[in-house]
Chain A
Amino acid sequence: MSFSIVLQQNTSEDNRLDKTLTDLYTLEGVLKDGTSIMTPSVLVEASTSSLAVCNYATISAFGRRYFITNISAYRGNLSQIDMKVDVLSSWATEIRNCQGIVYKQENLWNLYLDDGTFKCYQNPLMGSFQFPNGFNSLNYILAVAGNTGA
């Protein structure tokens, strides 16, 4: 089976859907032994030192992208590259078409929901508001028995 693997450098977070990738090497060959499409392990003829800067790979034949989890050096200028599928990047378009209940979001929020996200200091803010009017007079009131006789 003709096999092409693009070795790349990923500088993005693991949990980002769209990775920032830099292509470093493209290796062509034939897949001699069986390997998992989710955790493929391939033996390539390349120096380990040159592969050391690679942390990401794309295998078009598998339709997936991978984190490089390990690179092992073998005799005869052979290196074994162990990979694990990056599900987010591999299925980014399909994931974006899905629906769900978003309960934490960077740009779309409802701050009236209390989910314990926010922390508070022990010294609260003290405020006050004064009403515009009050009792502004003072008078004697003398109550007497009988009518006014008027």
Chain B
Amino acid sequence: MADFPLTFVKCVQGRVNCDNDPPVPVLLCYVTWEGTITASGNTITLPVTLLDGLREGYSQISTACSMAMTTTNPEYASWSTGTVAAGNYNFYKVDSSTGRLVYFRYDTSNICRGYVPTSVTGSNLMYNPIVLYVNDDTDQILPVSSQATYEALCSSKSTDYTPTWVNGVPTFIAPNAYYKSSYDEKTISASTPIAWDKTIIEPVIEPVIETDPFAPGGTTGDDESESEGGDGDFENAEVTVDPPALPSLSAITSGFIAAYMPSFSQLQALGDYLWSDLFSLDTFKKLFSDPMQAILGLSLVPVSPSTNEGNVVIGNVNTGISMPRVMQQFVTVDCGSVTLPEYWGGYLDYSPYTKVEIYLPYIGVRPLDTDEVMGRTLHVVYHVDVLSGACVCFIQCDNTIRYHYVGQCGASIPITANDWTRVVNGAVSIATALGVGVATLGAGTAAAGGVTAATMAGAGALVGGVASQVLASKPRVEHSGSLAGMGGLLGIQFPYIMIQRPRQAVPSGQNVFTGYPSFIKRTLSTVTGYTQVTAAHLTGLSCTDEEKKEIQAYLEAGVIL
């Protein structure tokens, strides 16, 4: 028997479902062929030798027939003496270097359709995919095609079927009818390439295995001699971390203390009451020998907690003075969001070239990591305790809180001599707290007690210096001390960001003369203009070795393509 001059490039397991019979496992073999497929008019003709091979064992084949594929039946190659419409057809191609199926083109209808006529005259139908039945006992692959003589493989039925295509592979064949041939079974000889190579029964569309360990999903190797690293998960996950909820328990709700938010006139009225004859010590509770002991503190806070109206009660003595009572100890102040845009759109927008600081009310100026905040939206939220005046500032960068700072936004108002001393001493200590007037050199060298001028060898070389040199020569200066308490009240009441960016010195058209940083793999025909290449693979040149070295040197020094 003649060999099938076909190359089975893809074998997919499928099933033929039949009405009353169990599903029959079949191989769906997509074929390609060597030789030129010619098109004449609306007919596509395969090489004659192929036709000869296929004709063998089949009857009723017209010598003038051609293996044609129609646009309405894209997967269906039929011998037909008629003409078929021109159009797109499905072809497969095996990449000669990898042996993999690398091309699969669908017809727009993407339907694999086949049918069996009730009678076959004048034409024989051979489907592509050619449905084959594997006989494991005899190791024969038997074609199943429709023929005039029907032998039951399953019930006769003419039904269009639509496979489910997954990545170009049909995964399921709906009910269809295939007839076992009545002619001699065709044996596929051993010389037919990969005809029964069951290693390709599984879909051959395989992921490309990266040999570069730094490509996502790259391998690291098991052997000790293999390269290491490059086994990160390449997953840059970021969780959302929002400012926490305010505490549910507070001193105010404990019942042991109460807080009021008096107006100026109300405060004056209370003071008048305490120093008047209206205040009767006899009615004062025994816990206190001094009415001032019942007043725990008076402060100024820059927030407005929720209140209820009522009379101020001191030591269970109702003063009869109307004063809003504070109902919440903890208050949130949302300062809003600011998006920090890149200026240069490059590395100069990031550390260490660009510096970012933030002024926070009641805290002071704090440095921010430029790499963390550049290009992100910063959201500032304060949580304030109105009783103690303590506050926590959250700085959220996009979805995650990355900075927390503690401050003091309540300013105590002294109401006793002890209070006065404490407040004044506190203000003095704040002014001399660490962080005031300390300057450090930008390169991380600390200078105590002031700014030290940068000393660098060859200072003249800094003229037009590169960004890193400019940075290293500049001292870093703190912009504020602690702004707590009354100091904070005297300060700016809204946050703002200060940013220092390098001023780039770029000659007009610098990229034409020196190029800009790139670092990508390219075929040199895909780039134009000034180009510097490192590690070029100079293949396909029939020049001398000396010329090749000179070319390499030119490419590394820069050429104009």
Residue numbers of A with Cβ under 8 A of B are 13, 15-17, 38, 85, 87-88, 90-91, 94-150
| Interface set, chain B 243-296, CB cutoff 8 A to A | 255-264, 267, 270, 285, 287-288, 293-296
Q: Which 4 A-B pairs have the closest CB atoms?
A: A134-B494, A111-B346, A106-B529, A100-B536
Query: Are B530 and A106 in contact, CB atoms less than 8 angstroms apart?
Result: yes
Task: Assess A122 versus B527: contact at CB under 8 Å? Given A15-B554, A109-B518, A137-B302.
Answer: no
Partner of A111, one of B298, B303, B344: B344
Query: Are B313 and A15 in contact, CB atoms less than 8 angstroms apart?
Result: no
Query: Are A103 and B506 in contact, CB atoms less than 8 angstroms apart?
Result: no
Partner of A102, one of B413, B497, B527: B527
Query: Are A105 and B518 in contact, CB atoms less than 8 angstroms apart?
Result: yes
Task: Assess A95 versus B524: contact at CB under 8 Å? Given A110-B519, A126-B500.
Answer: yes
B241 CB within 8 Å of chain A: no
Which has the most chain B C-beta neighbours within 10 Å: A109, A137, A142? A142
A120 / chain B contacts, CB cutoff of 8 Å = 348, 353, 465-467, 470, 502-505
Task: Assess A104 versus B465: contact at CB under 8 Å? Given A133-B336, A148-B325.
Answer: no
Query: Are B313 and A116 in contact, CB atoms less than 8 angstroms apart?
Result: no
Residue numbers of B with Cβ under 8 A of A are 255-264, 267, 270, 285, 287-288, 293-305, 310, 312-316, 318, 323, 325-326, 333-338, 340, 343-348, 353, 361-362, 380, 382, 386-387, 409-410, 413, 462, 464-468, 470, 489, 492-506, 511-512, 514-525, 527-544, 546-547, 550-551, 554-555, 557-561
**Cα A146 to Cα B284 with chains together (Å):** 12
Overall SS of chain B's interface: mixed
**Cα A103 to Cα B519 with chains together (Å):** 4
Query: Are A150 and B310 in contact, CB atoms less than 8 angstroms apart?
Result: yes
A127 / chain B contacts, CB cutoff of 8 Å = 343, 498-501
A140 to chain B, nearest CB (A): 5
A61 to chain B, nearest CB (A): 15
Overall SS of chain A's interface: loop
6 new A-B contacts, CB < 8 A, other than A117-B516, A120-B467, are: A87-B543, A87-B551, A97-B523, A118-B348, A129-B496, A144-B257
Task: Assess A139 versus B334: contact at CB under 8 Å? Given A102-B518, A110-B517, A144-B313.
Answer: no
Query: Are B546 and A38 in contact, CB atoms less than 8 angstroms apart?
Result: yes
**Cα A15 to Cα B558 with chains together (Å):** 7
Partner of B561, one of A17, A129, A139, A143: A17
Query: Are A125 and B500 in contact, CB atoms less than 8 angstroms apart?
Result: yes
Partner of A140, one of B261, B532, B537: B261
Task: Assess A111 versus B345: contact at CB under 8 Å? Given A102-B519, A106-B529, A143-B387.
Answer: yes
